[in-house]
Amino acid sequence: MNPDRAILLLWCPDRPGIVADVSNFIYTHGGSIIDSSQHNDPVSDTFLMRIEWDISGFSVGREGIKPAFEPIAAKYTMTYRIELDSRTTRMAILVSSYDHCLYDLLLRNREGETHADIALVISNHEVLRPVAELFGVEFAHVPVTLSAKDDAEAQQIGILRDRGIDLIVLARYMQILSPRFVAAFPQRIINIHHSFLPAFVGAKPYHQAYERGVKIIGATSHYVTDDLDQGPIIEQDVARVTHRDSIKTMVQKGRDREKLVLSRAVRLHLEHRVMTLGNKTVVFA
The tens digit of pLDDT for each residue in 12-34 reads 999 999 999 999 999 999 999 99
Chain mean pLDDT for the chain: 95
Task: Supply the pLDDT for residue 20.
Answer: 98
Write down the catalytic residue from 45, 229, 237, 245: 229
Question: 5-84 adopts what CATH topology?
Answer: Alpha-Beta Plaits (3.30.70)
Three-state secondary structure readout of the chain:
CCCCEEEEEEEEECCCCHHHHHHHHHHHCCCEEEEEEEEEECCCCEEEEEEEEECCCCCCCHHHHHHHHHHHHHHCCCEEEEEECCCCEEEEEEECCCCHHHHHHHHHHHCCCCCEEEEEEEECCCCCHHHHHHCCCEEEECCCCHHHHHHHHHHHHHHHHHCCCCEEEECCCCCCCCHHHHHHCCCCEEEEECCCCCCCCCCCHHHHHHHHCCCEEEEEEEECCCCCCCCCEEEEEEEECCCCCCHHHHHHHHHHHHHHHHHHHHHHHHCCCEEEECCEEEECC
Residue 93 reports pLDDT greater than 90: yes
Q: Which residue ranges make up each domain of the chain?
A: 5-84, 89-283
**CATH class (in words) of the domain with range 89-283:** alpha beta
Residue 171 reports pLDDT greater than 90: yes
What would the mean pLDDT of 266-276 be, rounded to a whole number?
97
Task: Supply the pLDDT for residue 100.
Answer: 97
What would the mean pLDDT of 270-279 be, rounded to a whole number?
95
Task: Supply the pLDDT for residue 237.
Answer: 97
**pTM as predicted:** 0.94
Residue 82 reports pLDDT greater than 90: yes
Residue 116 reports pLDDT greater than 70: yes
What would the mean pLDDT of 129-141 be, rounded to a whole number?
98
Residue 1 reports pLDDT greater than 70: no
What would the mean pLDDT of 261-278 be, rounded to a whole number?
96
| Residue 21 known to be catalytic | no
Task: Supply the pLDDT for residue 223.
Answer: 98
